[in-house]
A and B are shown apart, each in its own frame.
Chain A
Amino acid sequence: MNAASAPDTAFDAILEVEELRKEFVSHRGRMRVRAVDGVSFSLKRGEILGLVGESGCGKTTTGKLIMRLVEPSSGNIRVEGKDAVSLDREADFAYRRRVQMIFQDPYASMNPHFKIRDVLEEPLLIHGIGASRTERMKLVEEVMEKVKMTPASEFMDRYPHMLSGGQRQRIATARTLILRPSIIVADEPVSMIDLSTRAEILHLMKTIQSDMDLSFIYITHDISTARYFTDRIAVMYLGRIVELGTQDEVIDHPAHPYTKALIEAVCEPVSGRVGIMRDLKVKGEIPSASDIPSGCRFHPRCLFATEACAKEPEPELQDLGDGHAQACRRYSEIQYGR
């Protein structure tokens, strides 16, 4: 294997996103929200990519665009080299079987009148899998074993409200797996789950991911769980990716001032921090996506911004080698004092 020397070709990318944009228009066109504003990345086969950022950074919209739940204003999405933006009804149907989503709130995402067996059978019915109920129930049992809801018979006839948050999120995971997808988009799958079980769910998803060779997009505001769960991290700010790289590179050697600020703000469970002020390397709060600043969109909050940052066109991602890329035009000056 000479994987190291092989270029990042389209062959090992299962999903490619190119210059993706989504603009929401409201107030009869007087308000335009550029929720996703030129996002490009590729997801390798069997990889977990984290989309990390604060609320309003466009991470969830990016996930929904990939899921085809919202239509892009412009840009391309390709799955295994094939266009995924304009699909006819039949192709759309097949697409949804391949690309599945785990939602944030496992309570709101399940029909409360459905028993667990019905929750899990529904995707099979929709996609016409399994000739008989018995056959489908066999698949349901199998998938419940996969997410460690065993013995399956004990949980099958329960309703969602009879399960804990962690158990519900297992069922939500099972519901996506039952269609044997190749890509899973998980939008904050553990943020509503108690800390003590959060790790358990992440661990389960990671095991399933490697067992089934799934490709995963993990959307989160919590960079600490991304450290545990992901292979690569894309840091998003106000609709764009500002830094992209392996999780070790991004967290241990952050390049973009925004990533640095984000990492600086994270609390750690260690002693010796009580009462010490945090030196936050950022000004103010995230502006509205309806009023995106000129030039580099981070410049009003950046401690390193110069006049050029406000005036020059938006900086693109620059490669720093090893697939680590960042979008600050002053990177080398800041990093090396040049």
Chain B
Amino acid sequence: MSDTILKVRDLKLHYFTSKGAVRALDGLSFDLARGETLGLVGESGCGKTTTGVALLGMPSPPGRIVGGSVVIDGTQIVGLPDRELRKNVRWSKISMVFQGAMNCLTPVYTIRELMAETYRVHCGPEALGTEGLEALMEKYVRLVGLSESVLGRYPHELSGGMKQRVVIAMALFLEPKVIVMDEPTTALDVIVQAQILNLIKVLKRDLGLSYVFITHDLSTEAEIADRIMVMYAGKMAELGSSEDIFGVPRDQGDSRSGPLHPYTQMLLASTPRLHRRVSELAFIPGSPPDLVAPPSGCRFSPRCPFARTKCRQLDPPVHEFGKGHLVACWKAMEESEYERS
């Protein structure tokens, strides 16, 4: 048994629209270790959700995986037929909490019926029997901090926090090893958000789950992600541990100063801080590029204050700075070479 539960290599997913192919994912590679949480962070349209659905082999049309590989727990899922994916991959190996799923629960079904349907679709009609299934559903509803009586209720009878717990239970109860969480706390109020984050942490600890945690909010990643991948325009900009990305204060021994990619730096500077009063928040001028015809060279170069001719001509390779800290930026690379010489 290897320690890597999910291996993604050079993954390419394009959306084939009337305007041309939108290169939403353009060569993405990363690993997820057993019991680890990897955060995917970036602006809207950077490909975080696309990555999530690609991991389940279910790109939404007109999207298609056009290259690369996704290996989950030893199974290559790129190229598997849909039937096979539904039966042996989705929900049994990897499941997903979709963004806004809590507001998409069919209003005319009880929670019991909704969960039972998920079960039937992925495991066939009678694998467990009615009683076995009921026991399984009760177990998972309790696990997410709800009482069994929730099973008999309709979605509209539940609060936002309770619905989100139900959706998490539905992602968990067929016992997958990897769970993709797409903005699971975004639509919730701060206090409920913190409660759900606590739940997600407890579940990981108790069930040994691995998460791919997608959000646009770096502050949420700081709570949950062991490692963070910052994405920009369908590519990885930076990947590192929580300490690599957020830095470690000098008084705590090893002084890591924070992110190396200008995009991560600017994203961090534009995140409002509650406990630090600033007179001005930074922002990133411009907007992300059109992925039908992305800019040549580094895709962030049109918005980057440090961009030079080289940046506009050549795509920066992913380079390792320190252990496991990956950055795709010419400036970061040149600075480290300068320091070494």
A residues with a Cβ closer than 8 A to B are 54-55, 164, 166, 194-200, 202-203, 221-225, 227-228, 248, 251-252, 261-278, 280, 282, 285-286
Contacts and interface: CB of A to CB of B under 8 A. Distances in A.
13 contacts: A55-B160, A195-B267, A196-B270, A262-B191, A267-B223, A268-B222, A271-B245, A272-B242, A272-B243, A280-B191, A280-B194, A282-B191, A285-B159
B267 A196 contact: yes
A269 B246 contact: yes
Given A200-B283, A202-B281, A274-B242, A268 B274 contact: yes
Residue among A225, A227, A268 with max Cβ neighbours from chain B (10 Å): A268
Contact of A196 (B225, B280, B284): B284
Contact of A228 (B191, B204, B281): B281
Interface string B255-267: 0000000000011
A55 B189 contact: yes
B275 A251 contact: yes
Nearest to B247: A271
A268 B219 contact: yes
Interface residue tally of chain B, by bracket? 35 or more
Given A263-B274, A267-B222, A275-B201, A285 B161 contact: yes
B283 A277 contact: no
Contacts of B225: 274
Contacts of B273: 224, 227, 268-269
Nearest to A288: B159
Nearest to B190: A265
A203 B280 contact: yes
Nearest to B162: A285
A286 B43 contact: no
Nearest to A224: B272
A251 B220 CA distance: 20
B219 A271 contact: no
B286 to A, nearest CB: 9
Contacts of B242: 271-274
B288 to A, nearest CB: 9
B24 interface: no
Contacts of B250: none
Given A197-B284, A268-B273, A274 B247 contact: no
